Structure 1
Amino acid sequence: MALKLIKDGTELSLGDSEFSELNKFCEENVIDLTFEWISGQFWLHSDIPKEKPIGIEIDRELSRHEEYLKKSSVHKELLAKAIGVKGTHRPQVLDLTAGMLGDSLLMLAFGCEVWATERHPVIRFLIQSALKNAQHPKLQNFHFQATSAQEILENGPRTEVIYFDPMFEDINEKASPRKEMRIFRNVVGSDQDAIQVFEKALGKKTKRLVVKRPRHSANLSKAPSVQYIGKSTRYDVYFSV
Protein backbone atom coordinates (compact mmCIF):
# COMPACT_ATOMS: atom_id res chain seq x y z
CA MET A 1 0.00 0.00 0.00
CA ALA A 2 1.33 3.43 -0.82
CA LEU A 3 1.02 7.14 -1.26
CA LYS A 4 1.12 8.48 -4.81
CA LEU A 5 1.55 12.15 -5.75
CA ILE A 6 1.00 13.23 -9.35
CA LYS A 7 1.93 16.55 -10.96
CA ASP A 8 1.63 17.27 -14.67
CA GLY A 9 1.16 13.56 -15.33
CA THR A 10 4.37 12.62 -13.52
CA GLU A 11 4.63 10.78 -10.21
CA LEU A 12 6.58 12.82 -7.65
CA SER A 13 9.32 11.54 -5.36
CA LEU A 14 8.28 11.04 -1.74
CA GLY A 15 11.69 12.06 -0.45
CA ASP A 16 10.46 15.57 0.37
CA SER A 17 9.76 15.98 4.10
CA GLU A 18 6.50 17.70 3.12
CA PHE A 19 5.13 14.27 2.22
CA SER A 20 6.72 12.12 4.95
CA GLU A 21 3.77 12.29 7.35
CA LEU A 22 1.32 11.28 4.62
CA ASN A 23 3.55 8.45 3.48
CA LYS A 24 3.90 7.17 7.04
CA PHE A 25 0.11 7.28 7.47
CA CYS A 26 -0.44 5.19 4.33
CA GLU A 27 2.16 2.62 5.37
CA GLU A 28 0.93 2.28 8.96
CA ASN A 29 -2.74 2.02 7.95
CA VAL A 30 -2.15 -0.15 4.87
CA ILE A 31 -4.01 2.22 2.58
CA ASP A 32 -3.56 3.57 -0.95
CA LEU A 33 -4.02 7.32 -1.46
CA THR A 34 -3.43 9.35 -4.60
CA PHE A 35 -3.10 13.14 -4.62
CA GLU A 36 -2.97 15.08 -7.87
CA TRP A 37 -1.75 18.65 -8.43
CA ILE A 38 -4.64 20.53 -10.03
CA SER A 39 -4.93 24.32 -10.47
CA GLY A 40 -2.19 25.18 -8.02
CA GLN A 41 -2.89 22.72 -5.20
CA PHE A 42 -3.21 19.03 -4.35
CA TRP A 43 -6.54 17.19 -4.64
CA LEU A 44 -7.36 13.73 -3.26
CA HIS A 45 -8.56 11.11 -5.72
CA SER A 46 -11.89 9.52 -4.88
CA ASP A 47 -12.27 5.86 -3.96
CA ILE A 48 -14.71 5.48 -6.87
CA PRO A 49 -13.29 5.58 -10.44
CA LYS A 50 -14.32 8.61 -12.54
CA GLU A 51 -15.62 10.48 -9.48
CA LYS A 52 -14.16 13.98 -9.19
CA PRO A 53 -11.25 14.43 -6.75
CA ILE A 54 -11.63 16.23 -3.42
CA GLY A 55 -10.05 19.60 -2.73
CA ILE A 56 -10.73 22.88 -0.95
CA GLU A 57 -11.33 25.90 -3.19
CA ILE A 58 -10.85 28.56 -0.52
CA ASP A 59 -11.12 31.72 -2.63
CA ARG A 60 -14.15 30.40 -4.47
CA GLU A 61 -15.93 29.33 -1.27
CA LEU A 62 -15.31 32.62 0.51
CA SER A 63 -16.51 34.59 -2.48
CA ARG A 64 -19.61 32.41 -2.74
CA HIS A 65 -20.42 33.02 0.94
CA GLU A 66 -19.89 36.76 0.53
CA GLU A 67 -22.23 36.93 -2.47
CA TYR A 68 -24.90 35.04 -0.56
CA LEU A 69 -24.58 37.28 2.50
CA LYS A 70 -25.09 40.36 0.34
CA LYS A 71 -28.63 39.10 -0.30
CA SER A 72 -29.38 37.54 3.09
CA SER A 73 -28.68 38.98 6.54
CA VAL A 74 -25.90 37.26 8.46
CA HIS A 75 -28.11 37.50 11.55
CA LYS A 76 -30.54 34.99 10.01
CA GLU A 77 -27.89 32.30 9.79
CA LEU A 78 -28.16 29.59 12.47
CA LEU A 79 -24.39 29.29 12.76
CA ALA A 80 -24.08 33.05 13.25
CA LYS A 81 -26.69 32.95 16.01
CA ALA A 82 -24.99 29.98 17.65
CA ILE A 83 -21.54 31.62 17.82
CA GLY A 84 -22.96 34.92 19.05
CA VAL A 85 -22.93 37.27 16.05
CA LYS A 86 -24.99 40.27 17.19
CA GLY A 87 -25.23 43.71 15.65
CA THR A 88 -21.71 44.61 14.54
CA HIS A 89 -20.07 42.23 17.01
CA ARG A 90 -18.08 39.39 15.47
CA PRO A 91 -16.56 36.95 17.98
CA GLN A 92 -13.15 35.34 17.74
CA VAL A 93 -13.65 31.60 17.22
CA LEU A 94 -11.48 28.55 17.78
CA ASP A 95 -12.56 25.75 15.41
CA LEU A 96 -11.34 22.47 16.91
CA THR A 97 -12.23 20.38 13.86
CA ALA A 98 -11.39 22.27 10.68
CA GLY A 99 -12.13 19.37 8.33
CA MET A 100 -12.64 20.72 4.81
CA LEU A 101 -12.92 24.25 6.23
CA GLY A 102 -16.64 24.51 5.50
CA ASP A 103 -17.65 26.15 8.76
CA SER A 104 -14.36 28.01 9.25
CA LEU A 105 -14.78 29.76 5.90
CA LEU A 106 -18.41 30.58 6.62
CA MET A 107 -17.44 32.16 9.94
CA LEU A 108 -14.71 34.10 8.16
CA ALA A 109 -17.32 35.35 5.70
CA PHE A 110 -19.41 36.51 8.67
CA GLY A 111 -16.43 38.72 9.60
CA CYS A 112 -15.07 36.64 12.48
CA GLU A 113 -11.42 36.03 13.24
CA VAL A 114 -10.92 32.26 13.21
CA TRP A 115 -8.28 29.93 14.57
CA ALA A 116 -8.59 26.34 13.34
CA THR A 117 -6.86 23.03 13.82
CA GLU A 118 -6.99 19.62 12.18
CA ARG A 119 -5.12 16.60 13.46
CA HIS A 120 -5.54 14.13 10.63
CA PRO A 121 -2.61 14.16 8.18
CA VAL A 122 -4.73 13.61 5.05
CA ILE A 123 -7.14 16.49 5.68
CA ARG A 124 -4.36 18.64 7.07
CA PHE A 125 -2.36 18.19 3.86
CA LEU A 126 -5.35 19.30 1.76
CA ILE A 127 -5.84 22.37 3.96
CA GLN A 128 -2.21 23.43 3.86
CA SER A 129 -1.99 22.94 0.10
CA ALA A 130 -5.19 24.95 -0.42
CA LEU A 131 -4.01 27.77 1.85
CA LYS A 132 -0.80 28.15 -0.15
CA ASN A 133 -2.95 28.58 -3.26
CA ALA A 134 -5.46 31.04 -1.75
CA GLN A 135 -5.34 34.84 -1.89
CA HIS A 136 -8.67 36.05 -0.50
CA PRO A 137 -8.20 39.14 1.72
CA LYS A 138 -10.32 37.68 4.53
CA LEU A 139 -7.62 35.06 5.10
CA GLN A 140 -5.70 37.67 7.07
CA ASN A 141 -8.17 36.76 9.83
CA PHE A 142 -7.61 33.01 9.51
CA HIS A 143 -4.97 31.16 11.51
CA PHE A 144 -4.39 27.45 10.90
CA GLN A 145 -2.43 25.33 13.35
CA ALA A 146 -1.45 21.79 12.38
CA THR A 147 -2.12 20.06 15.67
CA SER A 148 -4.85 18.27 17.60
CA ALA A 149 -7.88 19.69 19.39
CA GLN A 150 -6.47 18.52 22.72
CA GLU A 151 -3.17 20.30 22.06
CA ILE A 152 -4.66 23.59 20.91
CA LEU A 153 -6.95 23.64 23.94
CA GLU A 154 -3.82 23.34 26.09
CA ASN A 155 -1.60 25.84 24.30
CA GLY A 156 -3.71 27.70 21.75
CA PRO A 157 -5.31 31.14 21.77
CA ARG A 158 -7.95 32.27 24.22
CA THR A 159 -11.06 33.00 22.15
CA GLU A 160 -14.60 34.07 22.93
CA VAL A 161 -16.08 30.97 21.25
CA ILE A 162 -14.96 27.36 20.87
CA TYR A 163 -16.55 25.46 17.98
CA PHE A 164 -16.57 21.65 17.84
CA ASP A 165 -17.89 19.45 15.02
CA PRO A 166 -16.84 15.87 15.80
CA MET A 167 -16.99 13.22 13.11
CA PHE A 168 -18.79 10.08 14.19
CA GLU A 169 -21.17 7.35 13.08
CA ASP A 170 -24.65 8.36 14.18
CA ILE A 171 -27.52 5.88 14.33
CA ASN A 172 -30.03 8.60 13.49
CA GLU A 173 -28.44 9.62 10.20
CA LYS A 174 -30.67 8.20 7.47
CA ALA A 175 -29.43 10.08 4.44
CA SER A 176 -26.45 8.84 2.46
CA PRO A 177 -23.35 10.87 3.37
CA ARG A 178 -21.93 13.23 0.77
CA LYS A 179 -18.80 12.16 -1.08
CA GLU A 180 -16.32 13.84 1.27
CA MET A 181 -17.88 12.32 4.38
CA ARG A 182 -18.03 8.86 2.79
CA ILE A 183 -14.34 8.94 1.94
CA PHE A 184 -13.19 10.50 5.18
CA ARG A 185 -15.17 8.06 7.29
CA ASN A 186 -13.25 5.30 5.55
CA VAL A 187 -9.87 7.02 5.74
CA VAL A 188 -10.11 9.10 8.92
CA GLY A 189 -12.71 7.25 10.99
CA SER A 190 -14.77 8.71 13.80
CA ASP A 191 -13.53 10.93 16.64
CA GLN A 192 -13.20 8.37 19.41
CA ASP A 193 -12.16 11.02 21.92
CA ALA A 194 -15.08 13.38 21.22
CA ILE A 195 -16.33 13.28 24.82
CA GLN A 196 -12.88 14.00 26.22
CA VAL A 197 -12.40 16.93 23.84
CA PHE A 198 -15.83 18.25 24.73
CA GLU A 199 -15.13 18.09 28.46
CA LYS A 200 -11.76 19.79 28.01
CA ALA A 201 -13.32 22.54 25.87
CA LEU A 202 -16.09 23.03 28.42
CA GLY A 203 -13.45 23.42 31.10
CA LYS A 204 -11.89 26.37 29.26
CA LYS A 205 -14.81 28.54 30.47
CA THR A 206 -15.14 30.49 27.22
CA LYS A 207 -18.29 32.55 26.70
CA ARG A 208 -19.66 29.89 24.36
CA LEU A 209 -18.89 26.32 23.42
CA VAL A 210 -20.81 25.41 20.25
CA VAL A 211 -21.19 21.75 19.28
CA LYS A 212 -22.52 20.87 15.82
CA ARG A 213 -24.75 17.79 15.71
CA PRO A 214 -27.12 15.98 13.34
CA ARG A 215 -30.59 17.29 14.13
CA HIS A 216 -32.01 14.14 15.71
CA SER A 217 -28.91 12.83 17.44
CA ALA A 218 -28.47 12.60 21.20
CA ASN A 219 -26.57 15.27 23.12
CA LEU A 220 -22.84 14.74 22.99
CA SER A 221 -22.75 14.92 26.78
CA LYS A 222 -24.71 17.17 29.13
CA ALA A 223 -27.75 19.13 27.98
CA PRO A 224 -26.89 22.44 26.25
CA SER A 225 -27.89 25.90 27.47
CA VAL A 226 -29.69 26.55 24.19
CA GLN A 227 -30.10 24.90 20.77
CA TYR A 228 -30.38 26.33 17.27
CA ILE A 229 -32.11 23.71 15.10
CA GLY A 230 -32.14 23.53 11.31
CA LYS A 231 -33.54 21.00 8.85
CA SER A 232 -30.70 18.49 9.22
CA THR A 233 -28.25 20.11 11.64
CA ARG A 234 -28.43 21.66 15.07
CA TYR A 235 -26.03 23.70 17.16
CA ASP A 236 -25.85 22.94 20.87
CA VAL A 237 -24.58 25.98 22.75
CA TYR A 238 -23.04 25.85 26.23
CA PHE A 239 -22.62 29.15 28.03
CA SER A 240 -19.86 29.63 30.55
CA VAL A 241 -21.11 29.91 34.11
Structure 2
Amino acid sequence: MSVVSASVVSKICIIATPEALEKAQVWADFFKCPVNPANSADFFFHFHVEDGRVYVRDQEKRLLEIDFDKNHLDYERKGHRGKNELIAKALGVAKGYRKVLDLSVGLAVDSVFLTQLGFEVMGVERSPVLYALLKEAFARTEKDYLKSYQLYFADSLQFLKENKGKLAVDAIYFDPMYPHKKKSALPKQEMVVFRDLVGHDEDASEVLKEALTWPVQRVVVKRPMHAEELLPGVRHSYEGKVVRYDTYVVG
Protein backbone atom coordinates (compact mmCIF):
# COMPACT_ATOMS: atom_id res chain seq x y z
CA MET A 1 0.00 0.00 0.00
CA SER A 2 1.30 3.45 -0.85
CA VAL A 3 1.92 6.18 1.72
CA VAL A 4 -1.07 8.07 0.33
CA SER A 5 -3.32 5.04 0.72
CA ALA A 6 -2.13 4.36 4.26
CA SER A 7 -2.77 7.94 5.37
CA VAL A 8 -6.25 7.93 3.82
CA VAL A 9 -7.26 4.70 5.57
CA SER A 10 -6.27 6.19 8.93
CA LYS A 11 -8.79 8.99 8.35
CA ILE A 12 -11.81 6.91 7.40
CA CYS A 13 -14.76 5.33 9.16
CA ILE A 14 -17.78 3.47 7.87
CA ILE A 15 -21.34 4.71 8.25
CA ALA A 16 -23.76 1.85 7.67
CA THR A 17 -27.50 1.41 7.69
CA PRO A 18 -28.84 -1.54 9.75
CA GLU A 19 -29.63 -3.69 6.72
CA ALA A 20 -26.11 -3.20 5.31
CA LEU A 21 -24.07 -4.02 8.44
CA GLU A 22 -22.80 -7.33 7.11
CA LYS A 23 -21.34 -5.75 3.97
CA ALA A 24 -20.08 -2.82 6.03
CA GLN A 25 -18.09 -5.17 8.26
CA VAL A 26 -16.37 -6.68 5.20
CA TRP A 27 -15.10 -3.24 4.18
CA ALA A 28 -14.29 -2.35 7.79
CA ASP A 29 -12.01 -5.37 7.92
CA PHE A 30 -10.45 -4.30 4.62
CA PHE A 31 -9.84 -0.71 5.76
CA LYS A 32 -9.19 -1.74 9.38
CA CYS A 33 -11.54 1.01 10.50
CA PRO A 34 -14.61 1.33 12.78
CA VAL A 35 -18.28 1.02 11.80
CA ASN A 36 -20.70 3.70 13.02
CA PRO A 37 -18.30 5.15 15.61
CA ALA A 38 -19.66 7.62 18.18
CA ASN A 39 -16.92 10.07 17.19
CA SER A 40 -17.59 9.92 13.43
CA ALA A 41 -17.07 13.70 13.11
CA ASP A 42 -13.38 13.12 13.90
CA PHE A 43 -12.88 11.18 10.66
CA PHE A 44 -12.13 13.05 7.44
CA PHE A 45 -13.77 10.45 5.16
CA HIS A 46 -17.06 8.67 5.74
CA PHE A 47 -17.54 5.51 3.69
CA HIS A 48 -21.31 5.05 3.51
CA VAL A 49 -22.72 1.55 3.05
CA GLU A 50 -26.44 1.36 2.40
CA ASP A 51 -28.74 -1.22 0.87
CA GLY A 52 -27.93 -0.98 -2.84
CA ARG A 53 -25.63 2.04 -2.60
CA VAL A 54 -22.04 2.75 -1.53
CA TYR A 55 -20.41 6.19 -1.60
CA VAL A 56 -17.90 8.46 0.18
CA ARG A 57 -18.32 11.87 1.77
CA ASP A 58 -15.62 14.04 3.29
CA GLN A 59 -15.94 16.36 6.29
CA GLU A 60 -17.33 19.08 4.02
CA LYS A 61 -20.10 16.68 2.90
CA ARG A 62 -18.65 16.52 -0.62
CA LEU A 63 -19.77 13.33 -2.34
CA LEU A 64 -17.93 10.81 -4.51
CA GLU A 65 -19.87 7.89 -5.93
CA ILE A 66 -19.18 5.41 -8.73
CA ASP A 67 -22.19 3.96 -10.51
CA PHE A 68 -21.76 2.72 -14.07
CA ASP A 69 -25.51 2.46 -14.66
CA LYS A 70 -26.51 5.92 -13.44
CA ASN A 71 -23.87 7.21 -15.87
CA HIS A 72 -23.37 10.62 -14.28
CA LEU A 73 -19.69 10.47 -15.29
CA ASP A 74 -20.49 9.64 -18.94
CA TYR A 75 -19.60 5.97 -18.76
CA GLU A 76 -22.02 5.13 -21.56
CA ARG A 77 -20.56 7.22 -24.35
CA LYS A 78 -22.95 7.64 -27.23
CA GLY A 79 -21.77 8.36 -30.74
CA HIS A 80 -18.20 7.18 -30.22
CA ARG A 81 -16.09 6.46 -33.29
CA GLY A 82 -15.14 2.90 -32.42
CA LYS A 83 -11.79 1.92 -33.91
CA ASN A 84 -11.22 5.55 -34.90
CA GLU A 85 -11.10 6.75 -31.31
CA LEU A 86 -7.61 8.06 -30.51
CA ILE A 87 -7.28 5.82 -27.46
CA ALA A 88 -8.12 2.76 -29.58
CA LYS A 89 -5.61 3.71 -32.26
CA ALA A 90 -2.91 4.31 -29.66
CA LEU A 91 -3.46 0.88 -28.12
CA GLY A 92 -3.12 -0.82 -31.51
CA VAL A 93 -6.68 -1.78 -32.39
CA ALA A 94 -5.75 -1.87 -36.08
CA LYS A 95 -3.14 -4.53 -35.34
CA GLY A 96 -5.61 -6.68 -33.45
CA TYR A 97 -4.39 -5.85 -29.96
CA ARG A 98 -7.30 -6.37 -27.56
CA LYS A 99 -6.04 -7.32 -24.10
CA VAL A 100 -5.21 -4.22 -22.07
CA LEU A 101 -3.84 -3.70 -18.57
CA ASP A 102 -4.92 -0.36 -17.06
CA LEU A 103 -2.38 0.64 -14.40
CA SER A 104 -4.42 3.47 -12.84
CA VAL A 105 -8.13 2.73 -12.94
CA GLY A 106 -9.25 5.73 -10.89
CA LEU A 107 -12.95 6.24 -11.60
CA ALA A 108 -12.72 3.71 -14.47
CA VAL A 109 -13.93 6.22 -17.06
CA ASP A 110 -11.27 5.16 -19.57
CA SER A 111 -11.38 1.49 -18.52
CA VAL A 112 -15.13 1.30 -19.09
CA PHE A 113 -14.81 3.11 -22.41
CA LEU A 114 -12.14 0.67 -23.58
CA THR A 115 -14.40 -2.23 -22.63
CA GLN A 116 -17.22 -0.55 -24.56
CA LEU A 117 -14.88 -0.34 -27.57
CA GLY A 118 -14.35 -4.10 -27.46
CA PHE A 119 -11.09 -4.36 -25.50
CA GLU A 120 -10.61 -6.96 -22.77
CA VAL A 121 -9.48 -4.90 -19.80
CA MET A 122 -7.97 -5.72 -16.44
CA GLY A 123 -7.18 -2.88 -14.09
CA VAL A 124 -5.05 -2.00 -11.07
CA GLU A 125 -6.07 0.55 -8.43
CA ARG A 126 -3.88 1.44 -5.45
CA SER A 127 -6.32 3.62 -3.49
CA PRO A 128 -8.19 1.32 -1.09
CA VAL A 129 -11.23 3.60 -1.04
CA LEU A 130 -11.46 3.88 -4.81
CA TYR A 131 -10.91 0.14 -5.08
CA ALA A 132 -13.84 -0.46 -2.75
CA LEU A 133 -16.09 1.93 -4.69
CA LEU A 134 -15.07 0.28 -7.97
CA LYS A 135 -15.55 -3.24 -6.61
CA GLU A 136 -19.07 -2.37 -5.53
CA ALA A 137 -19.85 -0.64 -8.83
CA PHE A 138 -18.69 -3.62 -10.90
CA ALA A 139 -20.69 -5.97 -8.67
CA ARG A 140 -23.88 -3.92 -9.06
CA THR A 141 -23.76 -3.05 -12.74
CA GLU A 142 -26.29 -4.55 -15.11
CA LYS A 143 -24.08 -3.90 -18.14
CA ASP A 144 -23.06 -7.29 -19.51
CA TYR A 145 -19.86 -6.01 -21.11
CA LEU A 146 -18.51 -5.06 -17.68
CA LYS A 147 -19.13 -8.42 -16.01
CA SER A 148 -15.78 -9.85 -17.12
CA TYR A 149 -13.69 -6.88 -15.92
CA GLN A 150 -10.79 -7.98 -13.69
CA LEU A 151 -9.95 -5.51 -10.93
CA TYR A 152 -6.85 -5.75 -8.74
CA PHE A 153 -6.04 -3.83 -5.56
CA ALA A 154 -2.32 -3.15 -5.72
CA ASP A 155 0.37 -0.55 -6.12
CA SER A 156 0.97 -0.52 -9.88
CA LEU A 157 4.77 -0.59 -9.58
CA GLN A 158 4.70 -3.64 -7.30
CA PHE A 159 2.03 -5.26 -9.47
CA LEU A 160 4.24 -4.91 -12.54
CA LYS A 161 7.25 -6.36 -10.77
CA GLU A 162 5.34 -9.32 -9.35
CA ASN A 163 3.28 -10.25 -12.44
CA LYS A 164 5.68 -9.83 -15.35
CA GLY A 165 5.17 -12.68 -17.78
CA LYS A 166 2.21 -14.06 -15.82
CA LEU A 167 -0.63 -12.23 -17.58
CA ALA A 168 -1.67 -12.37 -21.23
CA VAL A 169 -1.60 -8.69 -22.18
CA ASP A 170 -1.17 -7.00 -25.58
CA ALA A 171 -0.86 -3.42 -24.32
CA ILE A 172 -0.51 -1.42 -21.13
CA TYR A 173 -2.43 1.81 -20.51
CA PHE A 174 -1.32 4.37 -17.91
CA ASP A 175 -3.02 7.62 -16.91
CA PRO A 176 -0.97 9.01 -14.01
CA MET A 177 -2.28 11.85 -11.90
CA TYR A 178 -0.70 15.06 -13.13
CA PRO A 179 -0.21 17.93 -10.64
CA HIS A 180 -2.22 20.40 -12.72
CA LYS A 181 -4.38 17.99 -14.62
CA LYS A 182 -8.08 18.72 -14.92
CA LYS A 183 -10.43 15.79 -14.43
CA SER A 184 -13.01 17.24 -16.78
CA ALA A 185 -15.45 14.35 -16.29
CA LEU A 186 -15.79 15.27 -12.62
CA PRO A 187 -18.01 17.92 -11.07
CA LYS A 188 -15.92 20.26 -8.91
CA GLN A 189 -16.89 18.79 -5.53
CA GLU A 190 -16.21 15.23 -6.66
CA MET A 191 -12.86 16.28 -8.10
CA VAL A 192 -11.79 17.59 -4.68
CA VAL A 193 -12.64 14.27 -3.00
CA PHE A 194 -10.99 12.31 -5.79
CA ARG A 195 -7.73 14.27 -5.49
CA ASP A 196 -7.72 13.90 -1.71
CA LEU A 197 -8.09 10.14 -2.07
CA VAL A 198 -5.54 9.65 -4.83
CA GLY A 199 -2.87 12.30 -4.34
CA HIS A 200 -0.18 12.55 -7.03
CA ASP A 201 1.61 9.68 -8.77
CA GLU A 202 5.11 10.75 -7.81
CA ASP A 203 6.47 7.38 -8.95
CA ALA A 204 4.89 7.65 -12.42
CA SER A 205 8.18 7.58 -14.32
CA GLU A 206 9.30 4.50 -12.37
CA VAL A 207 5.99 2.80 -13.15
CA LEU A 208 6.41 3.55 -16.85
CA LYS A 209 10.02 2.35 -16.80
CA GLU A 210 8.88 -0.97 -15.33
CA ALA A 211 5.96 -1.23 -17.77
CA LEU A 212 8.38 -0.90 -20.68
CA THR A 213 10.10 -4.11 -19.55
CA TRP A 214 6.92 -6.16 -19.93
CA PRO A 215 6.48 -8.55 -22.88
CA VAL A 216 3.75 -6.44 -24.51
CA GLN A 217 3.35 -4.75 -27.88
CA ARG A 218 2.64 -1.22 -26.69
CA VAL A 219 2.61 0.98 -23.62
CA VAL A 220 0.36 4.04 -23.86
CA VAL A 221 0.54 7.02 -21.51
CA LYS A 222 -2.25 9.61 -21.36
CA ARG A 223 -0.93 13.14 -20.94
CA PRO A 224 -2.30 16.68 -20.92
CA MET A 225 -1.66 18.24 -24.33
CA HIS A 226 1.19 20.52 -23.28
CA ALA A 227 2.83 18.30 -20.68
CA GLU A 228 6.31 16.92 -21.20
CA GLU A 229 6.84 13.28 -22.13
CA LEU A 230 6.89 11.10 -19.04
CA LEU A 231 9.96 9.31 -20.43
CA PRO A 232 11.83 9.73 -23.73
CA GLY A 233 11.20 7.23 -26.51
CA VAL A 234 7.64 8.04 -27.58
CA ARG A 235 7.11 6.47 -30.99
CA HIS A 236 3.92 8.33 -31.83
CA SER A 237 1.48 10.72 -30.12
CA TYR A 238 -2.23 10.65 -30.87
CA GLU A 239 -3.33 14.20 -30.10
CA GLY A 240 -6.80 15.42 -29.19
CA LYS A 241 -7.92 18.89 -28.10
CA VAL A 242 -7.15 18.46 -24.40
CA VAL A 243 -5.12 15.26 -24.02
CA ARG A 244 -2.77 13.12 -26.05
CA TYR A 245 -1.80 9.46 -25.98
CA ASP A 246 1.95 8.86 -26.06
CA THR A 247 2.70 5.44 -27.52
CA TYR A 248 5.84 3.46 -26.73
CA VAL A 249 6.33 0.44 -29.01
CA VAL A 250 7.81 -2.44 -27.05
CA GLY A 251 7.31 -5.66 -29.00
Q: Above 0.5 in TM-score?
A: yes
1:141-182 alpha-carbon deviations (Å, 9 max, x no partner):
311112221233231513000001111314x86x99844443
- 1: CA distance, partners of 2:54 / 2:176: 25
Alignment length (residue pairs): 229
State the match for 2:3 in structure 1: none
- 2: CA distance, partners of 1:120 / 1:80: 26
- 2: CA distance, partners of 1:207 / 1:136: 29
1:115 to 2:122 alignment:
yes
State the match for 1:57 in structure 2: 67
CA gap of 1:160–1:190, structure 2 versus 1, over 3 A, is: same
Verify the 8 A CA contact 2:23 2:49 in the aligned structure 1. Answer: no
The Cα RMSD (Å) is 3.2
State the match for 1:221 in structure 2: 231
Moved more, 231-240 or 135-144: 135-144
1:141 partner SS: coil
Moved runs in structure 1, 4+ residues, more than 4 A?
9-15, 64-67, 175-178
Q: How does 1:33-72 map to 2 (within 5 A)?
A: 33-37=45-49, 40-46=52-58, 48-49=60-61, 51=62, 53-61=63-71, 68=78, 71-72=79-80
When the two structures are superposed, what TM-score results if normalisation uses the length of structure 1? 0.81
1:95 to 2:107 alignment:
no
Verify the 8 A CA contact 1:2 1:23 in the aligned structure 2. Answer: no
% of aligned pairs identical? Answer: 30
- 1: CA distance, partners of 2:141 / 2:23: 24
1:109-147 alpha-carbon deviations (Å, 9 max, x no partner):
001110101011111111112122123211243111122
State the match for 1:27 in structure 2: none
2:192 partner SS: helix
State the match for 2:4 in structure 1: none
- 1: CA distance, partners of 2:20 / 2:83: 48
- 2: CA distance, partners of 1:178 / 1:83: 30
Equivalent position amino acid for 1:138 in 2? Y
Equivalent position amino acid for 1:75 in 2? K
Quote the offset at 1:223 in angstroms. Answer: 3.6
Quote the offset at 1:98 in angstroms. Answer: 0.7
State the match for 2:81 in structure 1: 73
Verify the 8 A CA contact 2:17 2:51 in the aligned structure 1. Answer: no
2:133 partner SS: helix
- 2: CA distance, partners of 1:15 / 1:109: 31
- Of 84, 90, 105, which aligns to 2:92? 84
Verify the 8 A CA contact 2:75 2:113 in the aligned structure 1. Answer: yes
Verify the 8 A CA contact 1:14 1:23 in the aligned structure 2. Answer: no
Quote the offset at 1:104 in angstroms. Answer: 0.6
- 2: CA distance, partners of 1:19 / 1:168: 30
CA gap of 1:177–1:42, structure 2 versus 1, over 3 A, is: closer
Quote the offset at 1:93 in angstroms. Answer: 0.2
State the match for 2:144 in structure 1: 137
1:59 partner SS: coil
When the two structures are superposed, what TM-score results if normalisation uses the length of structure 2? 0.78
1:201 to 2:208 alignment:
no
Equivalent position amino acid for 2:88 in 1? A
Equivalent position amino acid for 1:22 in 2? F
